[in-house]
């Protein structure tokens, strides 16, 4: 049994995009009260919206910033320089992956790409806007405004970005990827990207083929900062309500819907697979199905069952976005039935899908932001020894001390607040869209009652998943 237990521990990914906390955390009140309090706050926000009428002025309001003003030409040069810098960073990740140590904690490429570039880039976009669209690293390799050699196939839509994103998440979750595997992945990503840009043009591939562009675009739509049209050669910005720019986000293609649902479901899946419930459903075999199929309990024949476990996990991951899509479709249909006003479901999905993004974004942040405080801070030491060869180029090499982390109870409190804010924003956006489609406050409130139930379920389940590692 010791060998079995040891083998099961190997199921944990090498760079875990997760939130393990170790010892159980003692909070001022039981976890259930946090969940009930969040649910009540969500219901209260819905009631206030239903009674408050049209709140569209808040969605459209903005405060222009007088400073800083930057000349358009200067900003363009900065963007081009930044794009060259990020391309150099990706090339460095490939080189250090092939030449450096295979220890993911000592090689700079794992932390640089997954933590700094992907996580840090997504959260920067959430605060400042879509920086990646103007600092797209691979554009440095092409002629300015390259149009491509072939027209982009209409049937292809946004599927390349969605499928590549699914592949990247699957690699991170299941392959326990080490620096060399990451180097191969980035090399393949670069070849696909350069091929796509050559065939269809830089701008078109950025819009529909690049998975990170799709990711950062979703986060950027939540930013409280919006770029205004330039005047007299100067770039201007304005402060807006967080999440209000989502009403401008165009999610017209089915692949974009699958992308949003996969971003939500893969985050939930990653959190769920850290829970005892998830572990026991398969390995404890409560229904005896695996014991019947293999002739012995799965814990006793781990090497035989392990490939089936990975197949089961991968199947769940691929099916998860369609489970969320089905739920969303069902509750939208229920909302329609309560008002008696029929709209095409494709139109309903397209109009209401942006309201799901605040939930998707805050789930992502609550699950992964602690990695920026733990592994992300190690980048200062890794730059002194990028290959993991024992160098100390800048005198900042890692000394073995653990990075700073806030109190675990404070982390839990911040997660509760973030999830509540995301769900309230989702209710707010969905109500505004229902009001626009239904034409009256009463019908909009009736239309949104099923969606409120769905948001309550999402809130309770999301907090429950987050609480499991804290409870040990």
Q: What is the pLDDT of residues 32-45, one digit of tens each?
A: 777 888 888 888 88
Q: Give the rounded distance of the alpha carbon of 397 from its chain centre.
A: 31
- Distance CA(466)–CA(458), nearest Å, equals 12
Q: Is 115 inside any structural domain?
A: yes
- Distance CA(343)–CA(72), nearest Å, equals 43
Residue 12 pLDDT exceeds 70 = no
pLDDT at 55: 61
The answer to whether 387 and 99 are in contact (CB under 8 A) is yes
Q: Give the chain's domain count.
A: 1
- Distance CA(215)–CA(123), nearest Å, equals 11
Residue 15 pLDDT exceeds 50 = no
Report whether the peptide linkage leading into residue 68 is cis, meaning its omega lies within 30 degrees of zero: yes
Q: Is 118 inside any structural domain?
A: yes
Q: Is 219 inside any structural domain?
A: yes
Continuous segment of H or E residues that includes residue 238: strand 234-240
Residue 277 pLDDT exceeds 80 = yes
pLDDT tier at 131 (50, 70, 90 boundaries)? very high
In this prediction, residues 140-145 reach a mean pLDDT of 86
460 CB-near residues (< 8 Å, 6+ apart): 35, 38, 39
pLDDT at 26: 53
The per-residue DSSP string of 404-431 comes to: P---HHHHHHHHHHHHHHHHHHHHHHHH
In this prediction, residues 227-251 reach a mean pLDDT of 85
What percent of the chain has a predicted confidence (pLDDT) above 70?
88
What percent of the chain has a predicted confidence (pLDDT) above 90?
43
Of the ranges 23-27, 186-190, 278-282, 348-352, the best mean pLDDT one: 186-190
Q: Is 427 inside any structural domain?
A: no
| Torsion sign across C-alpha atoms 295, 298, 299, 304 | positive
Residue in 88, 349, 316, 121 with CA at minimum distance from that of residue 214: 121
Residue in 207, 196, 231, 190 with CA at minimum distance from that of residue 130: 207
pLDDT at 231: 77
In this prediction, residues 440-449 reach a mean pLDDT of 84
pLDDT tier at 365 (50, 70, 90 boundaries)? very high
- Distance CA(13)–CA(11), nearest Å, equals 6
pLDDT tier at 66 (50, 70, 90 boundaries)? confident
Residue 112 pLDDT exceeds 70 = yes
Residue 400 pLDDT exceeds 60 = no
In this prediction, residues 287-293 reach a mean pLDDT of 89
> 84-87 contacts: CB < 8 A, separation 24 or more?
84/137, 84/140, 86/117, 86/135, 86/137, 87/137, 87/138, 87/140, 87/141
User: How many residues would you count in the chain?
Assistant: 472
In this prediction, residues 8-30 reach a mean pLDDT of 44
Of the ranges 58-67, 187-196, 371-380, the best mean pLDDT one: 187-196
Q: Is 187 inside any structural domain?
A: yes
Which has the higher per-residue pLDDT, 400 or 10?
A: 400
Backbone angles phi, psi at 204, to 5 degrees: -65, -40
- Distance CA(465)–CA(367), nearest Å, equals 10
Residue 163 pLDDT exceeds 90 = yes
Domain residues for 224? 62-240
Residue 410 pLDDT exceeds 70 = yes
Q: Is 235 inside any structural domain?
A: yes
Which of helix, strand or coil describes residue 375? coil
Residue 103 pLDDT exceeds 70 = yes
Task: Report strand pairing: 70-71 vs 225-231.
Answer: unpaired
The answer to whether 334 and 365 are in contact (CB under 8 A) is no
Strand blocks (E) in 161-272: 225-231, 234-240
Q: Is 110 inside any structural domain?
A: yes
In this prediction, residues 375-385 reach a mean pLDDT of 88
Which has the higher per-residue pLDDT, 5 or 456?
A: 456
pLDDT at 16: 40
pLDDT tier at 359 (50, 70, 90 boundaries)? very high
Which has the higher per-residue pLDDT, 462 or 64?
A: 462
How many CA atoms are closer than 13 Å to the CA of 140, on its beta-carbon side? 19
- What is the average pLDDT score of the chain? 85
Token pair, residue 444, equals 């909009």
């Amino acid at each position: 049994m010791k060998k079995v237990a040891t083998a099961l521990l190997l199921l944990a990914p090498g760079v875990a995009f997760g939130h393990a906390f170790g010892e159980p955390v003692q909070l001022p009140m039981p976890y259930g009260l946090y969940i009930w309090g969040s649910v009540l706050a969500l219901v209260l926000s819905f009631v206030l919206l239903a009674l408050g009428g049209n709140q569209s002025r808040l969605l459209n309001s903005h405060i222009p910033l007088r400073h800083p003003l930057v000349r358009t030409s200067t900003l363009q040069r900065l963007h081009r320089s930044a794009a060259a810098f990020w391309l150099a960073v990706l090339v460095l990740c490939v080189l250090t992956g092939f030449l450096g140590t295979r220890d993911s904690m000592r090689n700079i490429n794992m932390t640089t790409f997954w933590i700094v570039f992907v996580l840090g880039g997504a959260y920067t976009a959430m605060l400042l806007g879509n920086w990646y669209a103007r600092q797209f690293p691979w554009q440095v390799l092409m002629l300015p405004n390259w149009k491509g050699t072939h027209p982009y196939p209409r049937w292809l839509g946004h599927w390349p970005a969605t499928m590549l994103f699914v592949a990247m998440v699957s690699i991170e979750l299941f392959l326990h990827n080490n620096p060399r595997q990451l180097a191969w992945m980035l090399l393949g990503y670069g070849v696909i990207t350069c091929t796509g840009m050559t065939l269809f043009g830089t701008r078109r591939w950025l819009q529909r083929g690049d998975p990170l562009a799709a990711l950062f675009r979703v986060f950027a739509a939540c930013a409280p900062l919006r770029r205004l049209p330039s005047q007299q050669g100067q770039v201007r910005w304005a402060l807006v309500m967080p999440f209000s720019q989502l009403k401008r986000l165009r999610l017209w293609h089915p692949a974009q819907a699958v992308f949003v649902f996969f971003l939500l479901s893969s985050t939930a899946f990653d959190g769920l697979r850290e829970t005892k419930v998830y572990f026991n459903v398969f390995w404890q075999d409560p229904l005896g199905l695996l014991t019947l199929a293999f002739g012995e309990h799965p814990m006793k024949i781990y090497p035989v069952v392990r490939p089936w476990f990975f197949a089961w996990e991968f199947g769940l991951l691929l099916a998860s976005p369609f489970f969320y899509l089905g739920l969303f479709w069902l509750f939208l249909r229920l909302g329609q039935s309560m008002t008696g006003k029929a709209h095409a479901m494709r139109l309903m999905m397209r109009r209401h899908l942006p309201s799901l993004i605040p939930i998707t974004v805050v789930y992502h942040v609550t699950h992964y932001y602690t990695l920026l405080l733990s592994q992300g801070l190690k980048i200062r030491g890794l730059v002194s020894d990028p290959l993991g060869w024992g160098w100390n180029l800048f005198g900042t090499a890692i000394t073995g001390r653990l990075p700073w982390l806030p109190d675990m109870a404070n982390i839990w409190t911040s997660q509760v607040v973030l999830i509540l804010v995301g769900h309230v924003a989702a209710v707010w956006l969905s109500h505004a869209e229902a009001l626009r489609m239904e034409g009256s406050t009463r019908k909009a409130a009736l239309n949104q009652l099923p969606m409120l139930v769905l948001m309550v379920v999402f809130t309770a389940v999301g907090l429950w998943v987050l609480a499991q590692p804290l409870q040990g």
